[in-house]
Amino acid sequence: MLKATLSSTILGLVLLLHASPALHAQGRELTPDRVNQRIQAAAVEILVNGRLAGSGAIIDRSGIVLTAAHVANGKDLSIEVLLGTNDRITAEIHAKDASHDILLLKLPAKTGGYPTLTLAKRPPLVGSKAYLVGSPIFRHRLFFTGTVSQTKVSAEFLKPHYVQVFYIQSASPHGTSGGAWVNGHGQLIGLQSAMLFVNNAPQGIAFVAPLDAIKSLKENPRTVAVASTGFAVEELWEQPPKYLEQVTDGTAGVVIKFIVPGSPLEQAKVPIGAILTSIDGKIIRTRDEYVDAIRQHEPGDVLALKIRAPNNETEQEFKFKLGSLQ
């Protein structure tokens, strides 16, 4: 009986080891306090023209700093990185991907290098815990917790262009932009970009630049250029009842809600509220389909857009030259 019980126990342990390779490869997650200690060592604040503009983190010992592209968006800016020691160090732009709201800065070389965050090997799982250090409204280096709500990358409009992000349920207010989100092992899984707001009120959903885009920019530093249209859309089912009452039955498309001044759509005098039904013959029903259809092309490509009024099934075709977001 003892031999049988011992054999069963050993067999159970062997099966557990084989069934849970990821668990044993990663090890036990850290306590939130330990995670905070790991982030704090590499966390920084970003000063633009002397003013605290956002958060960030060092992701390479050579002095590569990760932050959000919109934190330092402009020409002839003076950019400094404020370390946890309160040392101010001048930084240069190293690489940029505005389509994911990612900016990499470069610090001067330092003997022994800088403390750094390790990038996770894989994206987080839905439902997993996530942690952030940022400086909201000039309160320094606060610790936030969240839960990964969706890992599928989706498009969000941050005037004047779209960024592609995933979602973490969290309160991450103004000033945390550019902060590093990490998993329970203290490894980087994303970059704080923005928050979901309704009528200027935060809704507890953070927009987070994905790990794959961060890795790509770190491994191949460059200025990423993607195609852009200069207008934003909403989905039909987002519209108020009075708008939907005038939409003809069977309509498929997205509603034009914002047009960048001077863009081709403004020059063509397309009104706000018009419906974009297709791009190059492909029906567009969602924001993601719209952004994906545009970003499959290169800046300068010419597309055929079909647009109609909500109460008129007659479509107009516009030849549209794509601009560049970089």
What is the model's pLDDT at position 277?
A: 96
Q: Do the beta carbons of residue 133 and residue 152 sit within 8 Å?
A: no
What is the model's pLDDT at position 26?
A: 58
Query: In the chain, which residue ranges form alpha helices assigned H by DSSP?
Result: 2-19, 21-26, 32-42, 211-219, 241-246, 264-267, 287-295
Dmax over Cα atoms in the chain, in whole Å? 86
Record the tokens describing residue 49, joined without a space: 């023209």
Query: Sheet harboring 88-90: ordered strands across?
Result: 88-90, 79-82, 43-48, 51-60, 64-68, 102-106, 92-97
Q: What is the amino acid identity at position 133?
A: V
Task: Give the three-state DSSP class for 154.
Answer: strand
Task: Give the three-state DSSP class for 149.
Answer: strand
Q: What is the amino acid identity at position 27?
A: G
CA 7 to CA 11: how far, in whole Å? 6
Q: What is the amino acid identity at position 192?
A: Q
What is the model's pLDDT at position 200?
A: 76
What is the model's pLDDT at position 19?
A: 42
CA 218 to CA 44: how far, in whole Å? 18
Record the tokens describing residue 308, joined without a space: 């109609």
Beta-bridge partner residues of 143:
133
* Assigned architecture for domain 26-222: Beta Barrel (2.40)
275 closest CA partner among 252, 293, 241, 291: 252
At 9-19, the pLDDT tens digits run 444 444 434 44
What is the model's pLDDT at position 218?
A: 98
Q: Each residue's pLDDT tens digit in the chain (326 positions)?
A: 434 444 444 444 444 344 444 433 457 999 999 999 999 999 999 999 999 999 999 999 999 999 999 999 888 899 999 999 999 999 999 999 999 999 999 999 999 999 999 999 999 999 999 999 999 989 999 999 999 999 999 999 988 899 999 999 998 788 899 999 999 999 999 999 999 877 777 788 999 999 999 999 999 999 999 999 999 999 999 999 999 999 988 899 999 999 999 888 888 899 999 999 999 999 999 999 999 999 999 999 999 999 999 998 899 999 989 988 88
What is the model's pLDDT at position 121?
A: 96
Under CATH, domain 226-325 is a member of which superfamily? PDZ domain (2.30.42.10)
- Residue in the block written with tokens 């009842």: 241
pTM metric for this prediction: 0.88
At 69-99, the pLDDT tens digits run 999 988 889 999 999 999 999 999 999 999 9
| Dihedral angle of Cα 204, 205, 209, 212, to the nearest 10 degrees | 120
What is the model's pLDDT at position 197?
A: 79
What is the model's pLDDT at position 6?
A: 43
CA 94 to CA 22: how far, in whole Å? 34
What is the model's pLDDT at position 312?
A: 87
What is the model's pLDDT at position 76?
A: 86
Beta-bridge partner residues of 223:
96
Domain ranges of the chain: 26-222, 226-325
CA 231 to CA 192: how far, in whole Å? 24
CA 57 to CA 37: how far, in whole Å? 13
CA 241 to CA 105: how far, in whole Å? 47
